[in-house]
Structure 1
Amino acid sequence: MSVHKEVKRITTHILQEMKQRGEKIAMLTAYDYSMATIVDAAGIDVILVGDSASNVMAGHETTLPITLDQMIYHASSVVRAIKRALVVVDLPFGSYQGNSKEALASAIRIMKESGAHAVKIEGGLEIAESVSRILTAGIPVMGHLGLTPQSIYKFGTYTVRAKEEAEARKLVEDALKLQELGCFSIVLEKIPATLAKKVSDQLTIPTIGIGAGQHCDGQVLVIHDMLGLNKGFRPRFLRQYASLYDVMNDAIQGYISDVKAKDFPSEKEQY
């Protein structure tokens, strides 16, 4: 008789408890079934189906081109793979800005059609109405402040945000507002570590940092970056845990040379 070990699913409530007891939250992106299977089995707490799929999966220069339908496709693929992680999906550019009814409709589609557990939305006070509306429908919302990649054309650069006093003040206000509205967590991207500490200390909900220092309640990286699948992308905040580009390149070259040399398939590898 096999003893089936029950896998305890991560919930927004569990993330809250983790913050309270000082346990850090580990979050990574995934965009497809195979990768999500590996990430989930490894024991990650949260999987973000990021609009970074626009860059790493589709080859776009920014996150702007990816559509709601495409995000739902990626999210569905990920949800089919997971047994434990909380799955959060980015609302893509143009699916919520300036129209809270559209924001709600987008969030509902993601939840219904992909089976994900929460959505993530970029911005502060300016999207308060959209956040409220989504939360009213019972959909958990993760906020995102600091460098908001969907606003790349407004900022014109991916450099560190909130170094100036006024922008730092607004970021703290925005974080408190998002918490007050009912967000269960906030991503802080590329802001000074001291500011991230200040925000994390003031909030009761967990903060997840990317390029925001060690004082956030959790960390997130893009899976392709951290596994070294992207050649040449090495920002300061990235720790690369493997060099899979080289591993895969070697494997593929090995296959090619075996085929050319008529070494593959061998006698044993045929019927």
Structure 2
Amino acid sequence: MVAKNTRPTVADIRAMKARGQKISVLYVTTLEEASAADAAGIDMLSIEGRFFSPEMRMAAGKCFVQVGLPFGAWGSFQGRPLTTAEDYLRAAFHFTQLGGDCFYCAASYDIQKVLCDNHIPIVAHVGLIPSYITWTGFRAVGKTAEEALRVWHHVKQLEAIGCFGAELEVVPDRVGELISRNTSMIMLGMGAGPGADAQYLFAEDVLGHTDGHKPRHAKTYRNFAAEFERLQQERIAAFGEFIADVRSGSYPAQEHVVPIVDDEFEGFRVGLGLRNS
């Protein structure tokens, strides 16, 4: 378990919303990313359960951590998919013990309510929801009055069952602002405009090494893709030099071996019954 520290609580995050302080949220997958986020002062990290461990919690330092509970066939916990409220509760209690501060859950209202009723801070998902993408396709959600109202009613239902927050993904900026101002939940904006309570990006987008589609709302601050490619070429070159040294006999050299004094080596030979040549 991580030692007690001064990382934010749910009450602190709510207080940030109340005073209009924008919240920075970063999705990370590695210890290095979590540690860098802590050093930089990121407010909140989103970490999937499959990546969350005591070491990851320690690396996250003072960051408030949202642990992602995998949805159905999208993932598993302890070798089985999460399908029932009991499954989700078991996973949430496990990750709470590891230091999770809140939990992402895109399951049904009844499952989310069970988690909320057990005083587990839940972050749901509205707008473009990847696990329900067959209903909308990969597109902005809420560009018509009717669809924006559906997003609004979804938010109000989540609020009613006790959710702490919701990821608000790819909705028009004015819709995102109006919803964020009129709910007690923390709205984590992903392509939802500057009016959301928080701005949520993936570390891979921020660092410029996105694998596959880069969303419109992503902003790149560094070009790690070029650096990773340079490092890969350096790996290949180093491995090639190692092969050449092995084949030529130049590796291992004298500085890479353990010596034995002549008398001891001769004693070894005698013990084997070998004569001096």
Give the TM-score normalised by the residue count of structure 2: 0.76
1:211: which partner in 2?
191
Pairing 1:151–2:132 present: yes
Provide the C-alpha distance between the structure 2 equivalents of 1:247 and 1:78, rounded to a whole number of angstroms: 24
2:31: which partner in 1?
33
| Structure-2 change in CA distance of 1:100 and 1:261 (3 Å) | closer
Higher relative contact order (CA 8 A, sep 6+): 1
Kindly name which structure, 1 or 2, has the bigger radius of gyration based on alpha carbons. 2
What pairs up with 1:1-271 in 2 under 5 angstroms? 8-50=6-48, 71=49, 73-76=50-53, 77-94=55-72, 99-112=84-97, 114-122=98-106, 127-155=108-136, 157-230=137-210, 233-257=213-237, 260=240
| Structure-2 change in CA distance of 1:243 and 1:136 (3 Å) | same
> Counterpart of 1:74 in structure 2: which amino acid?
F
- Give the conservation status (yes or no) of the 8 Å contact 1:30–1:78: no
Provide the C-alpha distance between the structure 1 equivalents of 2:91 and 2:146, rounded to a whole number of angstroms: 32
Aligned residues: 237
Once the 2 structures are TM-superposed, how far is the Cα of residue 259 of structure 1 from its aligned partner?
5.7
- Give the conservation status (yes or no) of the 8 Å contact 2:117–2:162: no
C-alpha RMSD of matched pairs (Å): 2.8
Percent identity between the aligned chains?
A: 26
> Counterpart of 2:189 in structure 1: which amino acid?
G
- Give the conservation status (yes or no) of the 8 Å contact 1:231–1:245: no
Provide the C-alpha distance between the structure 1 equivalents of 2:82 and 2:176, rounded to a whole number of angstroms: 26
Once the 2 structures are TM-superposed, how far is the Cα of residue 141 of structure 1 from its aligned partner?
0.7
Provide the C-alpha distance between the structure 2 equivalents of 1:91 and 1:7, rounded to a whole number of angstroms: 24
Provide the C-alpha distance between the structure 2 equivalents of 1:211 and 1:96, rounded to a whole number of angstroms: 28
Q: Structure 1 regions of 5+ residues with no counterpart?
A: 1-5, 51-70, 265-269
- Give the conservation status (yes or no) of the 8 Å contact 2:173–2:195: yes
Provide the C-alpha distance between the structure 2 equivalents of 1:147 and 1:75, rounded to a whole number of angstroms: 25
Give the TM-score normalised by the residue count of structure 1: 0.77
2:273: which partner in 1?
none
Provide the C-alpha distance between the structure 2 equivalents of 1:27 and 1:117, rounded to a whole number of angstroms: 14
Provide the C-alpha distance between the structure 2 equivalents of 1:254 and 1:238, rounded to a whole number of angstroms: 29
| Structure-2 change in CA distance of 1:103 and 1:255 (3 Å) | closer
- Give the conservation status (yes or no) of the 8 Å contact 1:187–1:210: yes
1:54: which partner in 2?
none
Could you tell which deviates more after superposition, 132-141 or 175-184? Answer: 175-184
> Counterpart of 2:178 in structure 1: which amino acid?
K
SS in 1 for 2:225: helix
Provide the C-alpha distance between the structure 1 equivalents of 2:150 and 2:220, rounded to a whole number of angstroms: 32
Q: Structure 2 regions of 5+ residues with no counterpart?
A: 73-80, 246-254, 257-277
